[in-house]
Amino acid sequence: MQIKNLEFFDFKTYPHFGISLRDRNVLVGPNNIGKSTALDALRITFDVLRYAKRFAPDLKDQTGDGVCPTYMVPPSVIQTDLRYCVHDFGEGPARIQIKIANGSTLKMKVAPHADVECWLVSDMRVQRSAAHLRKAFPLDIVVVPTLSPLEQNEELVTETTVDRNRFGRLASRSFRTFWYRQDDNAFEDFADLVELGWPGVRIQKPVLEGNDGGKTIVRMYFREGKKVREVQWAGFGFQVWMQTMMHLRTAGKNSVLVLDEPDVYLHPDLQHRLLRIVSQRVGQFLLATHSTEIINDVDPGDVLVLRPGARSAKRIKSEEGFGSVYDAIGSSENAQFARLARTKKVLYVEGKDARLLGKIGKLAGGSDFLADSSVTLMKTEGFANWSRVSTSAWVFKEFFEFDVKVASLFDRDYRTDHEVKDFIGKLNGNDVLCHVLPFKEIENILLVPEAIKKVISKYTRKQLPVGWQEEVEAIFSNILEGLEEQTSSNIVIAGVQEEMKRKPASNMHSVYQLEAARFRKNWASQEYRRTVVGGKEAFSGLAKQVQDIFGVNLTETRVIEEMTMDDIGLDVREIFQSFEKFFRD
């Protein structure tokens, strides 16, 4: 069950704030804007539900909502500090309310020094039993608590202590004990998750050891190659990854995961891996972050910007909206330059193509070399800025005293084969590896009907009608055909201009006729259409019709996730393999 809306009043940072939620929700904004406030509301809800689901409700008249099943939850079970929960340090109460997909709403009154009063507003007939809340409000929240380094010498504690600490700031103190008390199958599942982030590293189930003081110490070892070490000797990043996977293991497709700033201790490539695991494993997540790595790895509609004075989070609607995101979190070209100084490798791409390239590169070559932050992606605004690319290596060496490997990938647009060949030769002659896409722009790679059908089948919330796949094919064909005139005009004119440049004495009318005939012949092939139409415009049209007809949000990420290597042409695969070899040699 998913959360539809989260709203709170007089709670911490905000007098009133609301968020409408989707499957994936990445909260961004400057420091102290209230990202963690939204997550704290869910942490309180998590603790309230854990407690209230064990008890039968009282029936109480709640003003405006009528008689509702009501629960009083002692502050001792809330692991968020309630002393500062009321806006402007007032006496309260603060109010939190969460509406889920079945229409039920849980409302809570939270005061600094009193029980949390919560009640359920639902269409379901009230049953005075502990099962009522579970049936009427089946929300499974999984909270990853604030994480800290593991204890150097962790003493064996009781199961009660482990359970009390498990979801709060003291969770790291009994991490080994928790796994010592779990069965072997559960631990192996956990070890598999850990290894997804650290290939070749295998953790071993904890063991007990005594010390000179007679206390029982719990140790957990891991093997990396031939070396066996205790987990406390590993870096903090590995310790945080293990603790995150511990909580993620309990999450499933019906879970809502709450995760606050996982980027603080994780290397960029681990941030990408974490996002992929979370996206595949849970039905909904809320993640607060400052990481441009994570922001670049999700769709525009997944990002919610929190701003000072606003009463709601604003979800960005397009690629252009990422500019406001980077302004909000304080990202700049300086951060990009700092990364370049570390990686010594740069791939120049068209202005807004960087976000797609890592995903496509992984699909095309099976490698994460563009998504693991070992290569810095920098923007160039097309062919016109080729000189910036060609002189980059010299500039970095001359002015900043470090050697940089430079490569570039440009859109083809409507350029002729001769133009592309001349351009590549000119740039490759300047110690730059240059490739030009074999289609108009990077979005053309998303124009794959079979992948689009898979997205519709996977994400639809209604029964698909008979013949729906044929309808998708028809939509696809109609959109491409609708772009024929525009595409023809651009390609034919580009061909005429190139031919007249090469042979000024040619008859322009004859050249035009030849170019137009060549286009008409090629246009008969759907594969040709797929490569020469405007990819952005075609995909945007497809997304709108898929949303209108099937009620499915067709995004770049979803389509790429359903594509196979065969959907990527051999020429594209060879381009990415060429880049990988260039940067790794």
Encode 474-543 in three state secondary structure: HHHHHHHHHCHHHHHHHHHHHHHHHHHHHCCCCCHHHHHHHHHHHHHHHHCCHHHHHHHCCHHHHHHHHH
Q: Give the β-pairing of 94-100 and 105-110.
A: antiparallel
27 domain-assigned:
yes
What strand order describes the sheet that includes 3-11?
Answer: 14-20, 3-11, 94-100, 105-110, 116-121, 66-73, 58-62
Whether 332 has a pLDDT exceeding 50, the answer reads no
Both 125 and 194 in one domain: the answer is: no
Both 119 and 204 in one domain: the answer is: no
Both 207 and 186 in one domain: the answer is: yes
Both 94 and 47 in one domain: the answer is: yes
Last residue of one domain, picked from the residues 187, 222, 248: 248
Both 8 and 134 in one domain: the answer is: yes
Q: What is the pTM of this model?
A: 0.65
Both 409 and 477 in one domain: the answer is: no
577 domain-assigned:
no
294 domain-assigned:
no
**Low-confidence winner among 269-278, 371-380, 447-456 (lowest mean pLDDT):** 371-380
pLDDT tens across 240-280, in order?
889 889 988 888 889 999 988 887 777 777 888 888 888 88
Residue 38, pLDDT score: 86
Whether 353 has a pLDDT exceeding 60, the answer reads no
Q: In angstroms, what CA-CA distances link 554 with 104, 455, 458?
A: 28, 7, 11
Both 437 and 448 in one domain: the answer is: no
Report the domain count for the chain: 4
Output the average pLDDT for the chain. Answer: 83
474 domain-assigned:
yes
CATH classification at residue 364: 3.40.50
Both 350 and 325 in one domain: the answer is: no
Indicate the burial class of 2 (C-beta count within 10 angstroms; 0-12, 13-18, 19 or more): middle
Under 8 Å between Cβ of 411 and 348: no
Both 320 and 352 in one domain: the answer is: no
Domain carrying residue 105: 3-138+299-329
259 domain-assigned:
no
Last residue of one domain, picked from the residues 442, 459, 489: 442
* DSSP annotation string for 413-480: TT--HHHHHHHHHHHHTTT-EEEE-SSSSGGGGG--HHHHHHHHHHH--SPPPTTHHHHHHHHHHHHH
Under 8 Å between Cβ of 301 and 322: no
Both 88 and 191 in one domain: the answer is: no
b/e map 164-197, b = 16+ CB within 10 Å = bbbbbeebbbbbbbbbbbbeeeebeebbebbeeb
pLDDT tens across 11-68, in order?
888 888 899 998 889 888 777 677 788 888 999 999 999 999 988 999 999 888 888 9
The predicted model gives 346-373 an average pLDDT of 68
Last residue of one domain, picked from the residues 394, 422, 442: 442
Q: CA–CA separation, 166 vs 433, rounded Å?
A: 52
Both 19 and 107 in one domain: the answer is: yes
Both 437 and 466 in one domain: the answer is: no
Which residues are CB-contacts of 239 (< 8 A; sequence separation ≥ 6)? 147, 149, 150, 172, 231, 232
575 domain-assigned:
no
292 domain-assigned:
no
pLDDT tens across 107-144, in order?
999 998 889 999 999 888 877 888 888 899 999 999 88
